Amino acid sequence: MRFHVRPTASPLIGSIRVPGDKSISHRAVLFSAMAEGTSRITGVLDSADVRSTISAVSALGAVVEIVAEEPDGLTLLVHGWGCDGPVEPVGSIDCGNSGTTIRLLMGVLAGWGIHAVLTGDESLSRRPMRRVTSPLAEMGARFETAEGGVAPVGISGGALAPADFDLPVASAQVKTALLLAGLRASGTTRVCEPASSRDHTERMLPGFGVPVMRDGLCASVTGPVVPVASDVAVPADPSSAAFLVGAALLVPGSDVTLRAVSLNPTRIGLLRVLARMGADIHVSQGDDVCGEPTGDIRVRFTEKLTATTITAGEVPSLIDEVPLLAIVATAAAGTTRFEGVGELRVKESDRLAAIADGINALCGGAVATEDTLTVTGGHPLVGAALDSLGDHRLAMAFAVAGLVADGETIIDRFEAVDVSYPGFAADIKALLKGSTP
């Protein structure tokens, strides 16, 4: 699908709730499938990635009922497999484009005596899996992968030994896979990271009756333990909200409020960086939802932004927002530098190269190295023909750029937004008309 964007003469005005958090939606579905009993989940993101997780747990024996499809998300009843464990699937399990689905499933299945083959689309089949299969193999699971350690991944689970892990790179997906495997091991499994990564797993598991011990950058669980059913409400996704934040900052006259967004400290690095760049952003604290702090984010057009340096230690809290933040940096005075962003080379695309190429095609100034990105502001953007490479975050970042670039911006493979934010274009249109609910 080809998407056309032109600079807008209208500001973005209104109050809106973006879809449910993708990371929390994945975990809520997976943990409910593992649990003894029936869980009710509200606000589940209705996207291609989360649908992959729903299909996967269904193939493994959980019963998932979609009882409502609302603008704020799906309401699900999930009847878990509990003590009986997952059933051996008939055929392979297609994880689509979802790295979260395939990597977390490895941890879920590692401790059960069944065999499963996990596959994905062309993009997912290029993404590295050894970072999960290698430590899980140390615990006792057996894996077969395609050449290069990529999908399809065959897993044969069984009895697991607990272990201590010091991860070389902070990764919520790897950490979660190891902790979920630890639920089946006899003893304590401990995972330590060099920096903070998303902690949704640590926040959510206690609600399913699984204690999680936390000590600085380490988290541990003691097995064997079976989760028990729980009711979960999924807050709005800060990574999806980021694109509307960026659009409001860049389009003159804009004033947008994003409601009930997760304000998890491991997810709002973008807001902290934008604050020091001078962005006009106000955050109002709301209720805790699903163990997550939430609140409203009000964003107003900011004419003068100042460049900054994003350190490697900050990157885990804004890794998904780097493409959008790079677009915002094109409007900042000076040169913005992103350090320690090599992880972006193994996302849905080589995001690091792609965002630099896209900014340069738009007549901005960007340079990517193996592990850094620099963006020089002050170059007025000019519309261009761009390819999302099938990457949802690139598609939305390029669309935001198109709202302020001179001339027309054309984005190929824009359907990629369905992975995380199917209603993105419609929400932008509603804000431009000031007709949001």
Q: What is the mean pLDDT of residues 47-70?
A: 96
Looking at the chain, which residues constitute the CATH 3.65.10.10 domain(s)? 3-20+235-433, 22-233
Using the predicted structure, report yes or no on whether residue 436 has a pLDDT greater than 70: no
Q: Which residues are catalytic?
A: 320
Whether pLDDT at 396 is above 90: yes
Contact 136, 207 (CB under 8 A): no
- With a pLDDT cut of 90, the percent of the chain lying above it is 91
Higher-scoring residue by pLDDT: 10, 348: 10
Which CATH class, in words, describes the domain spanning 22-233? alpha beta
Tallying the residues shown for the chain, one arrives at 437
Backbone angles phi, psi at 357, to 5 degrees: -60, -40
What are 283-309's pLDDT values in tens digits?
999 888 888 999 999 999 999 999 999
Phi, psi (degrees; rounded to nearest 5) at 26: -55, -50
Give the model confidence (pLDDT) of 125-179 as tens digits.
999 999 999 999 999 999 999 999 999 999 999 999 999 999 998 899 999 999 9
Query: Which tokens go with 276?
Result: 């020091």
Contact of 374 with 360, CB cutoff 8 Å: no
Q: For residue 371, how many C-alpha atoms fall within 13 Å in the half-sphere facing its CB?
A: 5
Find the helix or strand (DSSP H, E) in which 48 lies.
helix 48-59
* Stated pTM of the model: 0.90
Class of the CATH-defined domain 3-20+235-433: alpha beta
| Mean pLDDT of the residues in the chain | 95
Q: Distance between CA 38 and CA 128 in Å, rounded?
A: 34
State mean pLDDT over 360-375: 96
Tokens 């964003």 found at: 299
Distance from the Cα of residue 384 to its chain's centroid: 27
Residue 392: what are its φ and ψ, rounded to 5°?
A: -60, -40
Residue 135 tokens read as: 């430590």
| pLDDT computed for residue 437 by the predictor | 64
Upper half-sphere CA count for residue 237 (Cβ side, 13 Å): 26
Report d(CA 333, CA 308) in Å as an integer. 9
Reported as a single tens digit per residue, the pLDDT across 305-348 is: 999 999 998 998 999 999 999 999 999 999 999 999 998 887 77
What is the separation, in whole angstroms, between the first and last Cα of the chain? 28
Q: Give 253-272 pLDDT, tens digit per residue.
A: 999 999 999 999 999 999 99
